[in-house]
Structure 1
């Protein structure tokens, strides 16, 4: 059976070190972080704000706090220009149930557009530049696919292209939709969503297949550049690599608690993070690096084009990590960081299920829902979901 192998890198032995701890901007957990490019990062927080960070001479400086949610902000997606004279945008979603689109070119604090459709927390966003589609996932047990028209609207500095509309609603999930992804390489447009299963949909919203690998919620999805393998992170602490027949190709073990996020890094390595204080880097199916954090939870991770990593934690801090000696933090900063690290017990995930997995029929199953993002609180009334 074929296994995933990342693209070769310049130095596969280099370890990541702390590069920077961004000046405090958030008073709550950092739930999402996104790298637009090497010089521009965006973070979202439970304090209801979206922060934009730009690289200055020596550090990332806070250049804007984007407003409008009035509630926890849990998800981000970058929306690039669709024409030469268009602007760059950032889409954000949260507990208000709406998706706000802010202008990254002008950095106006008020939103450029408000996408209304979800009834509960929008916990996942993903944008496909190739297909020019935004897909969102929500605790209302639906995912939505959005597009914008290529007609110019607005005048002056804030002008942009198109009004957003819902193309299709993906219905039939059994639990909250934790993550979403667009399958880029298929001849026909397809979408992946995750609740306790991984769901594959066609572009018209027809459920094609369900993949089951764990009895616990699937918190994160990522698709490898080859577009024939996808990756999941689950509450059981395991990272799984799948093909689109539903076969599990590899299971990566290392995290000792809930795993909240997995992404494909710039060099095609995998990067994950979770409740065990850590982010982890994986190479050819092996754990290559562990990035311990001085906080209980590492909610999110992003990969910069230059190979650096950005993370966001429950302490409200955005951190950057690098393998380049020229971008490592000063010894004083490193010492302060080390002194704040918790003692992390050496545990293993004892509740991991069998590695065998198979596609599951689309018949509904009644299950309780793991609602809280960090604690085991099983309830069945979706209207009670608040983070």
Structure 2
């Protein structure tokens, strides 16, 4: 069965995967399954660990978000309200609120699964979201709307920014200091905005929509891709380097927590590690084309996710364990640095967690397919973008 979602635990000791078979699995770093969690009734499309690793949230095509206890594998509250697939999850930085998205709405949830807010979008499902560093706001993007929406977690006035985003947003990244937003657009440009919505630089056009971008941890550089090029920019939008190692497009990238390396996965079936200056350091041939990549908290290992499996790798390319029995049809994964766990989810509405050793943890079922998932900076909450245009929030560990 295909894996749809993956996420590391914050402490890097577990990985969670969500699968087409409606289950979530937690793995240790040796590839042992710790828990197989059942409850979702469709694909687990996204996963998110709380910052402390005490909760795992899953989003699913079954229109629900579920909380799980990674230590026991037991399920907690089932969050209902979405009317279509859940695409993305992300936690508040302090772990007190979960955001979920998918059915043309963003939803915020308390730790006990109580809905806080629902924010509707007009024309399209939310496919990407990002927390502000202080956890007070979330920015969301859709495939077809021409604006971004910034949602205030406490229910104060929301606002739209970025008018005339031709083709909508493919990926969003909020600057680590919260004063700048980078948007990878489907018109192949990358656009920078201030947090109050004033437009900044428009970066040179890629040859495909910009589906991969990430700020360096210090916020001084931005990496972008989507075609065969890896570009690194300063925060003013000046191009610092451009690298091409593949004839096919790159699907995802992730900046290491220590800021010294960028991991990139490509449609040519490889994973590559680059220096912060864009020099290739490692190249790995993967068994399948990878859809996502995520560094562990120690910056010495990373995980790659294909449709069907999740595997750990050392920074030098030494292979680690392949996590057994992953959920099917993976779309997104996230590594919870605070808890050392991986969570993954996707079209199956299921998500799975593992510890940093590759041992399986909890498995959850969401109400909708999960397009994107993100932990809050403190790892306690997760926000999910669901296929039904909802943004949902939940506690990461599934506790009441």
Counterpart for residue 133 of structure 1: 221
Over 3 Å counting, the alpha-carbon distance change for 1:184 and 1:319 in structure 2 is: closer
Instruction: Give unpaired runs (5+ residues) of structure 1.
Output: 82-86, 149-162, 329-387
**1:311: how far off?**
0.9
Q: Confirm whether residue 315 of structure 1 aligns to residue 388 of structure 2.
A: yes
Q: Which has the higher helix share?
A: 1
- Cα deviations across residues 176-208 of structure 1 (Å, max 9, x unaligned)? 11111223547xx43221102101223454333
- Determine if the alignment matches structure 1 residue 245 to structure 2 residue 279: no
Deviation, structure 1 residue 101: 1.4
1:88 maps onto 2:175 in alignment = no
Aligned CA RMSD, in angstroms, stands at 2.8
Pair 1:176 & 2:249 matched: yes
Partner of 1:279: 351
Counterpart for residue 150 of structure 2: 52
Which TM-score applies when normalising by structure 1? 0.68
Q: TM-score, normalised by structure 2?
A: 0.66
Which fold has the larger relative contact order, with Cα–Cα distance below 8 Å and residues 6 or more apart in sequence?
Answer: 2
Alpha-carbon distance between aligned partners in 2 of 1:130 and 1:51, rounded to the nearest angstrom: 25
CA separation of 1:274 and 1:15: change in aligned 2, threshold 3 A: same
* Counterpart among 23, 28, 32 of residue 119 in structure 2: 23
Question: Which residue is equivalent to 2:95?
Answer: none
Query: Residue 194 and residue 314 in structure 1: after superposition, are their counterparts in 2 closer, same or farther (change >3 A)?
Result: same
Equivalent residue number for residue 42 of structure 1: 139
Shift of 1:64: 3.0
Whichever structure has more strand as a proportion of its residues is 2
The one-character-per-residue Cα deviations of 1:90-132 (angstroms, maximum 9, x if unpaired) are: 111121111111221x2x3x52221123122000111113362
Gap change, CA 1:290 and 1:39, over 3 Å in 2: farther
**How many positions carry a matched residue from both structures?**
295
How far apart are residue 276 of structure 1 and its match?
1.2
Contact 1:44 1:74 in 2 (8 A): yes
1:1-387 mapped onto 2 (5 Å cutoff)? 5=13, 9=53, 12-13=71-72, 15=75, 17=77, 18=79, 19=109, 20=115, 22-25=118-121, 27-36=123-132, 37-48=134-145, 49-56=147-154, 62-81=158-177, 88-104=179-195, 106=196, 108=197, 110-130=198-218, 132-138=220-226, 140-148=227-235, 163-185=236-258, 189-195=260-266, 196-215=269-288, 217-235=289-307, 237-265=308-336, 266-283=338-355, 284-295=357-368, 297-304=369-376, 305-322=378-395
Q: 1:177 to 1:9 in 2, by over 3 A?
A: closer
Unaligned runs of 5+ in 2: 1-10, 15-50, 55-68, 80-108, 110-114
Instruction: Describe the shift of the 1:250–1:183 C-alpha distance in structure 2 as closer, same or farther (beyond 3 A).
Output: same
